[in-house]
Protein backbone atom coordinates (compact mmCIF):
# COMPACT_ATOMS: atom_id res chain seq x y z
CA UNK A 1 0.00 0.00 0.00
CA UNK A 2 1.32 3.44 -0.81
CA UNK A 3 1.63 6.25 1.74
CA UNK A 4 -1.70 7.55 3.01
CA UNK A 5 -2.72 10.64 4.96
CA UNK A 6 -5.01 10.89 7.98
CA UNK A 7 -7.80 12.04 5.65
CA UNK A 8 -7.48 8.76 3.73
CA UNK A 9 -7.97 6.41 6.70
CA UNK A 10 -11.75 6.16 6.39
CA UNK A 11 -11.34 5.26 2.72
CA UNK A 12 -9.00 2.42 3.70
CA UNK A 13 -10.75 0.91 6.75
CA UNK A 14 -14.28 2.26 6.36
CA UNK A 15 -16.97 2.37 8.98
CA UNK A 16 -16.49 -1.32 9.68
CA UNK A 17 -12.85 -0.76 10.65
CA UNK A 18 -13.76 1.99 13.07
CA UNK A 19 -16.62 -0.13 14.42
CA UNK A 20 -14.21 -3.01 15.12
CA UNK A 21 -11.65 -0.71 16.75
CA UNK A 22 -14.06 1.16 19.00
CA UNK A 23 -15.99 -1.98 19.91
CA UNK A 24 -12.78 -3.68 20.99
CA UNK A 25 -11.74 -0.59 22.95
CA UNK A 26 -15.04 -0.38 24.85
CA UNK A 27 -15.10 -4.13 25.45
CA UNK A 28 -12.15 -3.57 27.80
CA UNK A 29 -13.38 -0.46 29.63
CA UNK A 30 -16.13 -1.73 31.98
CA UNK A 31 -13.73 -3.93 33.97
CA UNK A 32 -10.85 -1.45 34.00
CA UNK A 33 -10.16 -0.13 37.49
CA UNK A 34 -9.13 3.35 36.30
CA UNK A 35 -11.33 4.11 33.30
CA UNK A 36 -14.36 1.92 34.04
CA UNK A 37 -15.62 4.06 36.96
CA UNK A 38 -15.64 7.16 34.75
CA UNK A 39 -18.53 5.72 32.71
CA UNK A 40 -22.06 5.24 34.00
CA UNK A 41 -22.94 1.60 33.29
CA UNK A 42 -25.85 2.53 31.04
CA UNK A 43 -23.79 4.87 28.82
CA UNK A 44 -21.27 2.52 27.21
CA UNK A 45 -23.31 2.10 24.04
CA UNK A 46 -23.67 5.86 23.63
CA UNK A 47 -19.98 6.45 24.41
CA UNK A 48 -19.03 3.90 21.78
CA UNK A 49 -21.32 5.59 19.24
CA UNK A 50 -19.80 9.02 19.98
CA UNK A 51 -16.17 7.89 19.75
CA UNK A 52 -16.83 5.96 16.55
CA UNK A 53 -18.58 8.95 14.99
CA UNK A 54 -15.82 11.33 16.04
CA UNK A 55 -13.11 9.09 14.58
CA UNK A 56 -14.98 8.50 11.33
CA UNK A 57 -15.37 12.24 10.79
CA UNK A 58 -11.84 13.05 11.92
CA UNK A 59 -10.29 10.56 9.51
CA UNK A 60 -12.12 11.37 6.29
CA UNK A 61 -15.59 9.88 6.66
CA UNK A 62 -19.06 11.38 6.98
CA UNK A 63 -19.35 14.32 9.39
CA UNK A 64 -22.28 12.84 11.34
CA UNK A 65 -20.63 13.56 14.69
CA UNK A 66 -20.37 17.29 13.95
CA UNK A 67 -23.88 17.38 12.48
CA UNK A 68 -25.30 15.80 15.65
CA UNK A 69 -23.07 17.30 18.35
CA UNK A 70 -21.27 20.30 16.88
CA UNK A 71 -17.57 20.98 17.21
CA UNK A 72 -15.80 18.16 19.09
CA UNK A 73 -14.52 20.56 21.80
CA UNK A 74 -12.60 17.66 23.32
CA UNK A 75 -11.13 19.50 26.30
CA UNK A 76 -14.50 20.96 27.27
CA UNK A 77 -16.32 17.64 26.89
CA UNK A 78 -13.72 15.83 29.00
CA UNK A 79 -13.34 18.54 31.67
CA UNK A 80 -15.72 16.86 34.17
CA UNK A 81 -13.48 13.79 34.34
CA UNK A 82 -10.29 13.49 36.35
CA UNK A 83 -7.87 12.78 33.53
CA UNK A 84 -4.52 12.15 35.15
CA UNK A 85 -1.32 10.90 33.57
CA UNK A 86 -2.26 7.46 34.91
CA UNK A 87 -5.67 7.64 33.22
CA UNK A 88 -4.04 8.84 30.00
CA UNK A 89 -1.57 5.97 30.03
CA UNK A 90 -4.29 3.41 30.66
CA UNK A 91 -6.44 4.85 27.86
CA UNK A 92 -3.52 4.60 25.45
CA UNK A 93 -2.71 1.07 26.64
CA UNK A 94 -6.28 -0.09 26.03
CA UNK A 95 -6.44 1.65 22.65
CA UNK A 96 -3.13 0.01 21.70
CA UNK A 97 -4.66 -3.39 22.49
CA UNK A 98 -7.72 -2.47 20.41
CA UNK A 99 -5.48 -1.44 17.51
CA UNK A 100 -3.61 -4.73 17.77
CA UNK A 101 -6.91 -6.62 17.63
CA UNK A 102 -8.16 -4.53 14.68
CA UNK A 103 -4.99 -5.46 12.76
CA UNK A 104 -5.08 -2.54 10.33
CA UNK A 105 -2.54 -2.13 7.57
CA UNK A 106 0.75 -0.72 8.90
CA UNK A 107 0.16 2.58 7.08
CA UNK A 108 -3.08 3.08 9.02
CA UNK A 109 -1.65 1.90 12.32
CA UNK A 110 1.31 4.28 12.02
CA UNK A 111 -1.07 7.23 11.75
CA UNK A 112 -3.59 6.21 14.41
CA UNK A 113 -1.24 5.30 17.28
CA UNK A 114 0.47 8.70 17.49
CA UNK A 115 -2.87 10.49 17.07
CA UNK A 116 -4.36 8.61 20.02
CA UNK A 117 -1.28 9.13 22.20
CA UNK A 118 -1.09 12.85 21.44
CA UNK A 119 -4.80 13.41 21.91
CA UNK A 120 -4.80 11.54 25.22
CA UNK A 121 -1.91 13.72 26.42
CA UNK A 122 -3.77 16.86 25.29
CA UNK A 123 -6.76 15.85 27.44
CA UNK A 124 -4.87 15.51 30.73
CA UNK A 125 -6.50 17.96 33.10
CA UNK A 126 -5.26 16.88 36.53
CA UNK A 127 -1.50 17.08 36.99
CA UNK A 128 -0.25 15.15 40.00
Give pTM, 2 decimals. Answer: 0.93
Q: Residue 123: which of 18, 38, 45 has the closest Cα?
A: 38
pLDDT, residue 79, reads 83
Q: pLDDT-derived band of residue 58, with 50, 70 and 90 as boundaries?
A: very high
Kind plus residue range of the DSSP H or E element containing 119: helix 106-122
Exposed / middle / buried, residue 65 (Cβ in 10 Å: 0-12, 13-18, 19+): buried
Q: How confident is the model over 86-96, as pLDDT tens digits?
A: 999 999 999 99
pLDDT, residue 110, reads 96
Among residues of the chain, what percentage have pLDDT more than 90?
80
Q: How confident is the model over 104-116, as pLDDT tens digits?
A: 999 999 999 999 9
Give me the residue spans of the domains in the chain: 7-122
Q: Which CATH superfamily is domain 7-122 in?
A: Globins (1.10.490.10)
Amino acid sequence: MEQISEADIFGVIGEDGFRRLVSEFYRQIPTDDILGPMYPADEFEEAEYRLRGFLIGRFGGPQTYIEERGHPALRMRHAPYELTIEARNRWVEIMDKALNAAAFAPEVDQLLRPFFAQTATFLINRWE
